[in-house]
């Protein structure tokens, strides 16, 4: 038996955030926790076949992947380690190979000190709440005590980085006959998972490619680069005279873009442009897009003017996925650049989004700058993150009467021309305050006031 105070302290009835398990290494995410998760997954994923493991470039990745592997094989399952790869490669390979499930070692857009584990079932989808609760229950029942019961039923470990080729081939296939010959494109790979294949993908389509932050580096991943900081990409696109640029997060399931003038293209614009292309070709079911409560009002009004339907969900790609499945939608996503498409089974994929946007743009014979001019005009919107370390206080922010009263005052003052959204992050110790309105002064004033009240009252609690 292996035991650990760190593992024990992490045990709770709610270890899952909005996207798997995530936290600081080694205080929250520990080898002991990963060993228990691996063993529990091996016992819980009942389907035949191996369990796949992928990872981004974080320094703690090898350690956690090894612990997961030990737990999986102790449960009698084979573990296939794909190595550094984009998160969406794992669900794709699960479905293609008929695997029992998959685990991705990544903290996505979080800083290098963090890490986490994302879970995928035998259908390639992220685990629903029932499956999450089953794993939590098993983890809380001291799973490591049961490893001794698996004598002579141990699984084997296989290193299968070769499987990444199949995933890349599927991305190339998704763009059909469209090409990028001679188009100058900058990619910011943020020292993360996209370094495993992004360059070769765009070069295969003929792009005149410029790469920044292009090597796997666990100490630099997401640090002042990638989709969380577009400044390096904007600078490189403008200085090199590129037509467009794409920035990915640490595990490449998100992407944000800039046009040749350095204008930012967020997830709302990606959905609008890609959705418009599908709509024009009659390939968008019910003219429906799925977005979250964070998406801009300007996007919603412009899409409705095109005769489309914008379905809103709570924040989180799992909520977008569930609504897309329920409504039969073929395209949806988040303002942050997490885009889900029927092209790859509704799996968030930054590389797929970048390839689609760039090739669709080129196929129309226009620049991304010109295409963006055909997009919607966003309402002024401002998002402020307030650090609230106390988890209980952060998640129960609505019990703070001064803050709640101010939110109601803000909404009343904007009288239907704007909105306020306050929510606790599911992956970081942050309270997110967003104000959106047709008047920039109202946005700035209310954002400042609400952020001050949140910091003053919640951090004094």
25-40 pLDDT, tens per residue? 999 999 999 999 999 9
Indicate whether 395 belongs to any domain. yes
What element of type H or E holds 244?
Answer: strand 244-248
Quote the domain boundaries for residue 81.
5-162
Residues 364-405 pLDDT 10s? 999 999 999 999 999 998 999 999 999 899 999 999 999 999
Indicate whether 238 belongs to any domain. yes
- Worst-scoring range by mean pLDDT, 321-335, 408-422, 445-459? 408-422
With CA atoms as reference, report the closest residue to 107 among 427, 406, 437.
427
227 and 332 belong to one structural domain? yes
Measured CA to CA, the distance from residue 43 to residue 409 in angstroms comes to 52
Q: What are the phi and psi torsion angles at 242 (to 5°)?
A: -80, 155
155 and 197 belong to one structural domain? no
| pLDDT number for residue 357 | 98
Is residue 430 scored above 70 in pLDDT? yes
413 and 343 belong to one structural domain? no
Q: Quick one: residue 231, left, alpha or beta (phi over 0 = left, psi -120 to 50 = alpha)?
A: alpha
202 and 320 belong to one structural domain? yes
Domain end, chosen from 162, 186, 214, is at 162
126 and 220 belong to one structural domain? no
Indicate whether 265 belongs to any domain. yes
- Beta strands 255-259 and 264-265 are antiparallel
Q: Which residues, in sequence order, are bridge partners of residue 309? A: 288
Measured CA to CA, the distance from residue 80 to residue 87 in angstroms comes to 15
Which CATH number goes with the domain that contains 274? 3.40.120.10
| pLDDT number for residue 149 | 65
Length of the chain: 461
| pLDDT number for residue 379 | 93
| pLDDT number for residue 283 | 95
11 and 121 belong to one structural domain? yes
| pLDDT number for residue 3 | 35
- With b for 16 or more beta-carbon neighbours within 10 A and e for fewer, the 35-48 pattern comes to bbbbbbbbbbbeee
Indicate whether 412 belongs to any domain. yes
Residues 162-221 pLDDT 10s? 999 999 999 999 999 999 999 999 999 999 999 999 999 999 999 999 999 999 999 999
Measured CA to CA, the distance from residue 422 to residue 420 in angstroms comes to 7
Active site residue 108: yes
Which CATH number goes with the domain that contains 436? 3.30.310.50
Structure confidence at residue 24 as a pLDDT band (50, 70, 90): very high
Q: What is the DSSP letter of 430?
A: E
Measured CA to CA, the distance from residue 192 to residue 106 in angstroms comes to 10
Q: Which of 108, 194, 276, 329 is catalytic?
A: 108
| pLDDT number for residue 137 | 87
21 and 139 belong to one structural domain? yes
151 and 211 belong to one structural domain? no
Indicate whether 170 belongs to any domain. no
187 and 257 belong to one structural domain? yes
189 and 296 belong to one structural domain? yes
Is residue 13 scored above 60 in pLDDT? no
Structure confidence at residue 18 as a pLDDT band (50, 70, 90): confident
Sign of the CA dihedral with 336 first, then 434, 264, and 215 last = negative
Domain end, chosen from 162, 184, 202, is at 162
Cβ-contact 47, 100 below 8 angstroms: yes
Count of domains observed in the chain: 3
331 and 398 belong to one structural domain? no
Query: Which is more confident, 153 or 62?
Result: 62
Domain end, chosen from 343, 372, 401, is at 372
- Beta strands 418-424 and 381-387 are unpaired
Indicate whether 167 belongs to any domain. no
Residues 6+ apart with CB under 8 A from 25: 60, 64, 113, 114, 115
Indicate whether 409 belongs to any domain. yes
Indicate whether 9 belongs to any domain. yes
111 and 241 belong to one structural domain? no
Residues 6+ apart with CB under 8 A from 191: 57, 213, 214, 215, 216, 217, 218, 220, 221, 222, 223, 225, 226
Q: Strand 381-387's sheet: what is its strand order?
A: 381-387, 430-437, 418-424
Say whether 65 sits in a helix, a strand or coil: helix
- CB neighbour class for 307 (10 Å; exposed up to 12, middle 13-18, buried from 19): exposed
Residues 282-318 pLDDT 10s? 999 999 999 999 899 889 989 999 999 999 999 888 8
Measured CA to CA, the distance from residue 118 to residue 43 in angstroms comes to 17
Number of separate helices (H) and strands (E) present in the chain? 16, 18
């Amino acid at each position: 038996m292996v035991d650990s105070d760190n593992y024990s302290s992490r045990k709770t009835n709610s270890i899952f955030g909005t996207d798997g398990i995530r936290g600081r290494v080694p205080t929250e995410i520990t080898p002991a926790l990963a060993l228990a998760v691996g063993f529990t997954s091996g016992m819980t994923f009942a389907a035949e076949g191996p369990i796949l493991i992928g990872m981004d470039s974080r320094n703690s990745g090898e350690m956690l992947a090894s612990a997961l592997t030990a737990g999986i094989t102790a449960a009698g399952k084979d573990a296939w380690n794909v190595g550094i790869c984009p998160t969406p490669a794992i669900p794709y390979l699960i479905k293609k190979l008929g695997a029992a499930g998959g685990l991705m070692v990544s903290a996505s857009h979080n800083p290098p000190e963090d890490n986490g584990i994302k879970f995928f079932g035998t259908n390639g989808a992220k685990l629903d709440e029932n499956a999450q609760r089953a794993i939590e229950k098993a983890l809380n029942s001291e799973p490591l005590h049961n490893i001794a019961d698996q004598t002579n039923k141990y699984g084997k470990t296989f290193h299968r980085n070769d499987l990444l080729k199949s995933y890349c081939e599927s991305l190339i296939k998704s763009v059909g006959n469209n090409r990028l010959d001679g188009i100058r494109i900058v990619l910011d790979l943020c020292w993360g998972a996209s370094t495993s294949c992004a360059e070769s993908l765009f070069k295969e389509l003929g792009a005149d490619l410029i790469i920044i932050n292009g090597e796997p580096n666990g100490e630099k991943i997401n640090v002042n680069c990638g989709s969380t900081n577009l400044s390096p990409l904007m600078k490189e696109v403008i200085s090199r005279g590129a037509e467009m640029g794409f920035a990915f997060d640490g595990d490449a399931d998100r992407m944000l873009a800039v046009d040749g003038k350095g204008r930012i293209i967020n997830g709302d614009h990606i959905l609008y442009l890609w959705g418009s292309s599908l709509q024009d070709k009659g390939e968008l079911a019910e003219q429906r897009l799925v977005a979250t409560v964070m998406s801009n009002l300007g996007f919603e009004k412009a899409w409705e003017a095109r005769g489309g339907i914008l379905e809103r969900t709570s924040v989180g790609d799992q909520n977008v996925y569930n609504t897309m499945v329920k409504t039969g939608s073929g395209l949806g996503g988040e303002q942050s650049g997490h885009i889900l498409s029927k092209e790859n089974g509704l799996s968030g994929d930054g590389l797929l989004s970048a390839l689609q946007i760039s090739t669709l743009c080129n196929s129309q014979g226009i620049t991304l700058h010109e295409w963006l001019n055909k997009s919607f005009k966003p309402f002024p919107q401002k998002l402020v993150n307030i650090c609230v370390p106390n988890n209980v206080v952060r998640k129960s922010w609505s019990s703070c009467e001064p803050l709640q009263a101010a939110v109601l005052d803000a909404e009343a003052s904007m009288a239907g021309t704007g909105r306020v959204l306050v929510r606790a992050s599911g992956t970081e110790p942050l309270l997110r305050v967003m104000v959106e309105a047709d008047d920039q002064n109202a946005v700035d004033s209310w954002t400042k006031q609400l952020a001050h009240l949140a910091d003053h009252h919640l951090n004094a609690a």
